[in-house]
Amino acid sequence: MAYRVDFRKCVVENLESGKTWDEVVSIFSISRTTLSHWGHFTAML
């Protein structure tokens, strides 16, 4: 599944604000695998 850039930014901002991975995957209904793949995305922000 493809996610919009603004959605990814929102997820990353929540992580940076102190939420845990478990909280973020639950809030946004994404998998931990998806979130781990976005590690490369955060470097582009």
Among residues 15, 5, 14, the alpha carbon closest in space to that of 45 is found at 5
Q: Could you tell me what percentage of the chain is helix, strand and coil, using 3-state DSSP and rounding each to the nearest 5? A: 65, 0, 35
Structural domain that includes position 9:
5-42
The low-confidence residues of the chain, meaning pLDDT below 70, are: 40-45
Q: What is the count of structural domains for the chain?
A: 1
Q: What is the pLDDT of residue 43?
A: 54
Q: What is the pLDDT of residue 42?
A: 59
CB contact at 8 A, 35 and 24: yes
Residue 35's CB: how many other CB atoms inside 10 A? 18
